[in-house]
Amino acid sequence: MRRIVVLNPKGGCGKTTITTNLASYFAAQGHRTSLMDYDVQGSSWQWLKLRGPDRPEIRGVRAAEAVPGTTRAWQTRPPEGTERLIVDTPAALDFHRLVEATRGAQAIIIPVLPSNIDIHAASRSIADLLIRARISRRGDRLAVVANRVRKHTRVYAKLERFLNSLDIPFITTFRDTQNYVRAVEEGVGIFEMPEAVTRRDREQWQPLIEWIESRPVHHLVHGSTIASS
């Protein structure tokens, strides 16, 4: 199973957009896909409810609030047979939930918007992952993406310089388009919409998908961790 976590401490940076589009892509590719929502607002959960019965199945897991009489380990357990688990996280994620959400993740994606506030928030998020959650750069699990971008602007140039200065892969840039708004309203993803209107967006997603699929999958065998591709 590949566990993919989308994380940023700042709200409104597009975590749910990335989560839902990844989930819909993998489901459309025939992978048994689950979406785990850590956000009390439940945006990803609401998106799941909008999906029609004719769409590829995506199973949902509510991880935001404790369920009486249920352990956290059981509550946050992926459904049996899950091949791709996409985890949506909230803006305010305390240390324990940060460790819980990222434990065992092969890919941790940090979306960043082109603004000074978002650049600062991304710096703090990366520091938390490296220092508090003890996620190593050398593990090659961290990546950043630029979201809702209008290229050829001064603020995007600043964001691009910042992302390129990190010792973390800067994978791709997603443009600012109403396609994502329509996708959320319909409970679908970019790859489930007509190709004629989403061709540019699909091209922008390809580098991220390829990066995720190239991450090694770790299995626990008799207390030891081994990697396989």
Mean of pLDDT over the chain: 85
For residue 125, list its beta bridge partners. none
pLDDT band at 162 (very low <50, low <70, confident <90, very high): confident
Cα separation, 106 vs 23, whole angstroms: 15
* Contact of 102 with 5, CB cutoff 8 Å: yes
pTM assigned to the model: 0.86
Among 1.10.10.10, 3.40.50.300, 3.10.20.30, 3.40.50.10540, what is the CATH number of 2-228? Answer: 3.40.50.300
Q: What is the CA radius of gyration of the chain?
A: 17
CA quadruple 98, 107, 65, 73: dihedral sign: negative
**How confident is the model over 143-158, as pLDDT tens digits?**
889 888 777 777 777 7
The domain spans of the chain are 2-228
Residue 210 has φ and ψ, to the nearest 5°, of -65, -40
**Would you say residue 103 has pLDDT above 60?**
yes
Say whether pLDDT at 121 is over 80: no
